[in-house]
Structure 1
Amino acid sequence: MQRRVALVLATAVAFATLAGTTHAASPVFDVNRDFYPYYPSLIKWDKSTLDFTPPSVCQGCHEKQYKEWTGSVHQLAFQDPVYQGELNKAVKAVGHEISRQCEGCHSPAGVVTGEIKGPGNAGLSEMALAGVSCDICHSVSGTTHWQTPSHEPENGSFILAPGAETKDGPRFVKRGPFTPSAECGGGFHDCVESPLHLQADLCASCHQVYHYDAHFPLEATYLEWKHGPYAQRGILCQDCHMVETQAFLKAADQFAKPQRGEYRHFFNGANYLLSYLAAGAARKAGNQEQAESSMKQYAMAVDRLKSAASVEIIPNYHKGELTELQVRVKNLRAGHNLPTSLTNVRQMWLEIVAKDEAGRTILNSGQAGPDGSLPANARLFNSDGIGEDFHFAVDPWVVTSFSRHDTIPPRGYKDVHYGVPPLKGVKKLNVEVKLRYRQADQKLAEALLKAVPKDIDLKKTYGLTAVPPLPVVDMAVQKVAVTPRQPGR
């Protein structure tokens, strides 16, 4: 018996050892650090003797595009004070090496050249501060989406090749979506037609943000688009985010691709908060023209949000009596889920108020408090992040899964049901529903802005002595009058 027990135990240990060895040799998310030298950023740099070209140089020949890009979320990607606050917290929590995951997309040139060594803007070159500049997008020569640890686009999985060594010496090479003319580049750089610049894969590299080590998708905007109807009909990221509002509406409603002359370098989306802060900074610096340009970006972002969704109020009756109000929220025009990006931080929620004919409140939910906080019964369309211990978490370096993921797919909808109390003596119920949006929870935004590096003076740069209430956009508003008894009963 003892020999049999010993044999069983020895066999179990052998299998356990083999299993452990196999798991260690073949992890699900295998990382080739030689292939990705800037890990956890997945950028690759085809280095030549030529350096990156600052946007002020590009401005000389491309004034129109430069003005459109200036003040855009791409231009401000690294300088964004909310991002800098998050970056500063991340470095303190997990170290600067890990923070390259963020920096690789917010300032690619600053990462591959090694210029960025920590949070803050002090002492950095124009190129590093320029974030996602002209020379970044137009130097992308390919992607490594299939080679990433997740085998999906993530954390900057693109290849930068701003120059090339030729038999005639080093040459700048810039890539674009169309066949170049003979005069393209003006002798300063060569021009190459790039089919990649006509694909959403170009954007996917940075609009898929995964946990730096667990490779969990914190943001999966590209996959939301790819698995939806807009990808099926060939409407790309560029067709909605590189055009003005009217062209966007046409692309979203009719699946009609914009004309070549309609594309712009605004890169406009839902981040109106960054444009709002940038306008304040420009006014503080005395640059009224830039302030007006930033407010145009702000208005475009708000217009997109207001056109993205709709709400419908449906009264439900039981035995002739009104028992609940059903609110249907539709994603009308976003080619990805609504909301997208950091869905555990973004706040899109329903506010509902129902009053009787005398103005007495019968039902209410979702009203923000004086401090900007939302009540526990507010119906949010977002995600709840959890860490490895399966407890609630919001920091992106902690979140490794979602306990709840409740966003609305493109052209899809979600229903919310509100129970109605007995309405004795009530003749009419006036109902108003708002779909509201802000970039983040008020307290979270305050914490991030308070965490900005010391070299960023919010008062000096933005005129902020305290964190103001975050702007809230009413994406959709619907009002109806409902009878407590079912019509015809």
Structure 2
Amino acid sequence: MKRTSRLFTALFTCFALVGAAVAALAASPVFPVDREFYPYYPSLIKWNKSSVPFNAPEVCSGCHEKQYKEWNGSVHSLAFKDPVYQGELNKGVKAVGHEISRQCEGCHTPIGVVTGEIKGPGLAGLSAIALAGVSCDVCHSISGVTHQQTPARVAENGSFIMSPGVESTEGQILIKRGPIPSHDECGGGFHKCEESPLHLQANLCASCHQVYHYDDHFPIEATHNEWIAGPYAQKAIMCQDCHMVDIPTFKRSADQFVKPDRKEYKHYFSGANYLLTYLAAGAAKITGDEELAKSLMAQYEMAVERLKSAADLELSPIYHNGKLDELKVRVKNIRAGHNLPTSLTNVRQMWLEITLKDEAGKVVMSSGTLNADGSISEVARNFASDGMGKDFHFAVNPWEVVGFSKHDTIPPRGYRDTYYGLHFPADLKNVTIEAKLRFRQADQKVAEALLAAVPKDINLEQMYGLKAVPPLPVVDMVVKEATVETSK
């Protein structure tokens, strides 16, 4: 009897402990947040606060004129002033409040967030350093990252540490970090230099190029994850090796897995956001700053050329019983070190447009053409994502997207095949097939909604010369044509 009682007690204790453990697990959040460790949450920036000030980019230009001119006109310099971003931010604040939207501000103007200057959407009354977005002192003050401490335990939402300097018995000491070994003359007496291996790593960029939902921590943008799962990470080709160089050097890095020489790195931060630099060039012309307008148009042209260099198409006609019946189009990601497209893949649009013409050049079949209102045909092959909210229904706003119902982007050095059933008059002996891989940064209606939502202190007509939202520019990344027989 005693043995039975002891066994019962042991089993009861065991089950109680298991039950308590299960209950505790159920009560624990999947993504625990340490609010003391991350005082600017949902932005995950950390600031080693001191009296040492941050400096506006114009201060840095005194000694680093070349680097300043490269940066001035880059998407980093426009990150906060971007009217599309400001429209999105304004919509987000109205929907979920400013505290949550700080997640966005933490990467678009980090210094403005930690100093408390940014209190909402808009540009009025802000200092030059807050308006400068991702400026010199943002990147060169970074002393570390906290990727392993974030709620998702990966890089997300600005998980870096800024340390612009230290206080000493001799006063304030400014410290700037970068990949170059320090030497006695470095900083010219204005600041000290500190060699930083982090500035040669993709981990530096990952902090902001991974955007997770502010509460559910779903990866809305996962560019670093895409890179780390691909061959460029395996070959040690970092973000900087493709995005901080000119186009010929980018092609060499991507094609041959060869790292650039030190002298080949620039502060362009060139990506695919050609719309932003195009709009900003128009704004610079309105103010009469022709030098800046020229720099911005150079950035625009680099972005377009980068898109045109990133992919390729293969056309394969398919015959059944000797008759041309189908077309296989293989879309290849040949140079992007991340997925194609990347960033906000539920907003970006990269699609195929197929046209068949007869011997006289008359179109006999098409697929993927734009509708009259600028929207993409529902049957077009669009390599993108469909976001969904907590109700599992379609969602496009980043504060609503907690999953993808479709995620159909192309991994680095990967491909996607699309098949088309072909229809044309039976008497044709030959048809000419034209395939285009097309890209634009958002759906026309999405862009119109965002630009319509800009804060009141941003006058699109005065600043950008926009009386109405024009049709969004489309870049033809690849165009391939082939004339094939209709029978064999």
TM-score, normalised with respect to structure 1: 0.95
CA distance in 1, matches of 2:100, 2:253: 38
Deviation at 1:181, TM superposition (A): 2.4
Deviation at 1:180, TM superposition (A): 2.0
Deviation at 1:176, TM superposition (A): 0.5
Residues 1:164 and 2:177 are matched in the alignment: no
Deviation at 1:36, TM superposition (A): 0.5
User: SS at 1:385's partner residue?
Assistant: strand
CA distance in 2, matches of 1:473, 1:396: 25
Counting only pairs closer than 5 Å after superposition, residues 78-477 of structure 1 correspond to structure 2 as 78-421=80-423, 423-477=425-479
- For the 8 Å contact 2:349–2:383, the answer to whether it is kept is yes
- For the 8 Å contact 1:348–1:380, the answer to whether it is kept is yes
- For the 8 Å contact 1:47–1:163, the answer to whether it is kept is no
User: SS at 1:206's partner residue?
Assistant: coil
Partner residue, 2:4: none
What per-residue deviation string (whole Å, max 9, x for no partner) do you get for residues 143-177 of structure 1?
00000011110000000000112343321110010
- For the 8 Å contact 1:48–1:170, the answer to whether it is kept is no
Deviation at 1:423, TM superposition (A): 4.8
CA distance in 1, matches of 2:430, 2:16: 73
CA distance in 2, matches of 1:97, 1:338: 32
Count of matched residue positions in the alignment of Structure 1 and Structure 2: 474
Residue 322 of structure 1 aligns with an amino acid whose one-letter code is L
Runs of 4 or more, structure 1, over 6 Å off, are 12-18
What per-residue deviation string (whole Å, max 9, x for no partner) do you get for residues 47-106 of structure 1?
111111111111111111111110110000000000000000000000000001000000
- For the 8 Å contact 1:315–1:322, the answer to whether it is kept is yes
CA distance in 2, matches of 1:448, 1:205: 25
CA distance in 2, matches of 1:421, 1:63: 59
Partner residue, 2:25: 22
Residue 267 of structure 2 aligns with an amino acid whose one-letter code is H
1:60 counterpart (35, 59, 62): 62
- For the 8 Å contact 2:337–2:412, the answer to whether it is kept is yes
Gaps (5+ residues) in structure 2? 1-14
Deviation at 1:371, TM superposition (A): 2.2
Identical amino acids, percent of aligned pairs: 67
Deviation at 1:290, TM superposition (A): 0.9
Label 1:355 to 1:16 Cα distance change in 2 as closer, same or farther (>3 A): farther
Partner residue, 1:49: 51
CA distance in 2, matches of 1:20, 1:416: 48
CA distance in 2, matches of 1:146, 1:17: 28
What per-residue deviation string (whole Å, max 9, x for no partner) do you get for residues 225-246 of structure 1?
1110111111110001000111
User: SS at 2:183's partner residue?
Assistant: coil
User: SS at 2:119's partner residue?
Assistant: coil
What per-residue deviation string (whole Å, max 9, x for no partner) do you get for residues 257-279 of structure 1?
11101111110000000110010
Segment of structure 1 superposing worse, 162-171 or 428-437: 162-171
User: SS at 1:67's partner residue?
Assistant: helix
Segment of structure 1 superposing worse, 166-175 or 427-436: 166-175
- For the 8 Å contact 2:364–2:424, the answer to whether it is kept is no
CA distance in 1, matches of 2:476, 2:16: 61
Residue 67 of structure 1 aligns with an amino acid whose one-letter code is K
- For the 8 Å contact 1:423–1:484, the answer to whether it is kept is no
CA distance in 2, matches of 1:84, 1:470: 18
Deviation at 1:481, TM superposition (A): 0.7
Partner residue, 2:7: none
Deviation at 1:18, TM superposition (A): 7.0
CA distance in 1, matches of 2:161, 2:21: 38
CA distance in 2, matches of 1:55, 1:232: 35
Residue 411 of structure 1 aligns with an amino acid whose one-letter code is R
CA distance in 2, matches of 1:430, 1:365: 14
Deviation at 1:15, TM superposition (A): 9.1
Label 1:15 to 1:255 Cα distance change in 2 as closer, same or farther (>3 A): closer
Deviation at 1:178, TM superposition (A): 1.3
Gaps (5+ residues) in structure 1? 1-11
Residue 281 of structure 2 aligns with an amino acid whose one-letter code is A
Residue 119 of structure 1 aligns with an amino acid whose one-letter code is P
- For the 8 Å contact 2:387–2:406, the answer to whether it is kept is yes
Deviation at 1:464, TM superposition (A): 0.7
CA distance in 1, matches of 2:428, 2:230: 44
Residue 295 of structure 2 aligns with an amino acid whose one-letter code is S
User: SS at 2:351's partner residue?
Assistant: strand
Residue 102 of structure 1 aligns with an amino acid whose one-letter code is C
Label 1:13 to 1:382 Cα distance change in 2 as closer, same or farther (>3 A): farther
CA distance in 1, matches of 2:21, 2:261: 60
What per-residue deviation string (whole Å, max 9, x for no partner) do you get for residues 30-55 of structure 1?
11111101000000000111111111
Deviation at 1:303, TM superposition (A): 0.5
User: SS at 1:41's partner residue?
Assistant: coil
Deviation at 1:19, TM superposition (A): 4.3
- For the 8 Å contact 1:355–1:362, the answer to whether it is kept is yes
Label 1:284 to 1:195 Cα distance change in 2 as closer, same or farther (>3 A): same
Deviation at 1:14, TM superposition (A): 12
TM-score, normalised with respect to structure 2: 0.95
